[in-house]
């Protein structure tokens, strides 16, 4: 019988390493294609999640509200008391500017001042005048303003408030609070099967607004805004007519 042929293969350097050394090195059993593919998938998942959070962050910011008092008339504080010794009545008229600015970089829905929005002017908690704002909407990165006139008729300030207002007027330091009350709206789709949802109104509080202040600076000073269930209101001179939440068709 022919002699068996012996084939000798030269061992690789890694074959002489101990099993512990092999595990530490990881030189055997590594599928680099799988590692690279996994890394690419994780990278794309991370980018997708990060992009989603970015879109949510830049499209869900609340708008910035601000207001300025441009002029006022009808605050005649020199009138004497009436026969009953009561303080005189006032018929003030305030000319105001209301601003709405979007902070969103992208948006599917505009930010709006809805019909039925009222603008109220108070002094030390006493309402002096009220006016009605028109609908005003802003898209992404937009800023818009509108002029509002607020009236008061037969307003009687308590004695302490009247004295304080007279003293402020002598110093040229009259400051009033302005409240913009945006009503609750009910959104409905174009189709009857679309769900309806309620968007709560917004109470905008602009404190200590001085008459005749630099309007640019005043309108750059943001007001405090909070959600509230507010009914639409359509005031007239010296009166108010209350309505119901506004129904908006999208």
Q: What are the per-10-residue average pLDDT scores of the chain (250 residues)?
A: 51 51 52 78 72 51 92 80 69 96 78 95 95 94 95 88 87 92 77 58 95 88 94 74 48
Q: What is the pLDDT of residue 49?
A: 64
**Which helix (H) or strand (E) element contains residue 233?**
none
Specify the number of domains making up the chain: 2
Q: What is the pLDDT of residue 196?
A: 53
- Residues 34 and 119 placed together within one structural domain of the fold: no
Beta-carbon contacts of 219 under 8 Å, excluding residues fewer than 6 positions away, are 66, 67, 68, 97, 99, 145
- What pairing do the DSSP bridges indicate for beta strands 126-133 and 117-123? antiparallel
Q: What is the pLDDT of residue 242?
A: 46
- What pairing do the DSSP bridges indicate for beta strands 93-101 and 64-73? antiparallel
Phi, psi of 199 (to 5 degrees): -110, 115
Give the tokens for residue 231.
């009914």
CA distances, 76 to each of 73, 87, 155, 164 (Å): 8, 11, 11, 14
Confirm whether 8 is domain-assigned: no
Question: What residue numbers bound the domain in which 122 lies?
Answer: 62-249
Closest CA to 238 of 136, 89, 68: 89
- Residues 86 and 23 placed together within one structural domain of the fold: no
Cα within 13 Å of Cα(227), Cβ side? 5
| pTM, full prediction | 0.69
- Residues 90 and 169 placed together within one structural domain of the fold: yes
Q: Is the dihedral of CA 200, 227, 141, 120 positive or negative?
A: positive
**Which helix (H) or strand (E) element contains residue 189?**
none
Closest CA to 243 of 61, 118, 58, 73: 118
Q: What is the pLDDT of residue 20?
A: 53
Confirm whether 227 is domain-assigned: yes
Q: What is the pLDDT of residue 65?
A: 96
- Residues 51 and 29 placed together within one structural domain of the fold: yes
- Residues 74 and 103 placed together within one structural domain of the fold: yes
Q: What is the pLDDT of residue 184?
A: 92
Q: What is the pLDDT of residue 129?
A: 96
- Residues 122 and 49 placed together within one structural domain of the fold: no
């Amino acid at each position: 019988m022919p002699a068996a042929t012996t084939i000798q293969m030269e061992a690789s350097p890694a074959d002489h390493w101990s099993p512990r050394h092999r595990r530490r090195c990881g030189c055997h059993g590594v599928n680099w294609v799988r590692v690279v593919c996994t890394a690419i998938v994780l990278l794309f998942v991370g980018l997708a999640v990060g992009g989603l959070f970015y879109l949510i962050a830049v499209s869900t910011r609340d708008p910035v509200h601000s207001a300025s008092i441009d002029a006022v008339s009808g605050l005649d504080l020199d009138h004497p008391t009436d026969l009953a010794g009561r303080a005189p009545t006032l018929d003030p008229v305030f000319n105001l500017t209301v601003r709405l600015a979007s902070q969103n970089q992208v948006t599917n829905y505009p930010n709006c001042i809805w019909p039925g929005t009222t603008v109220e002017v108070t002094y030390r908690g006493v309402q002096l005048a009220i006016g009605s704002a028109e609908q005003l909407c802003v898209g992404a990165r937009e800023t818009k303003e509108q002029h509002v006139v607020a009236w008061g008729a037969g307003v009687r300030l308590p004695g302490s408030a009247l004295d304080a207002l007279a003293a402020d007027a002598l110093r040229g330091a009259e400051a009033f609070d302005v409240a913009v009350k945006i009503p609750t709206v009910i959104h409905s789709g174009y189709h009857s099967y679309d769900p309806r949802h309620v968007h709560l109104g917004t109470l905008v509080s602009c404190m200590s607004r001085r008459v005749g202040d630099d309007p640019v600076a005043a309108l750059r000073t943001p007001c405090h805004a909070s959600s509230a269930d507010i009914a639409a209101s359509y005031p007239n001179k010296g009166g108010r007519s209350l309505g119901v939440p506004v129904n908006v068709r999208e």
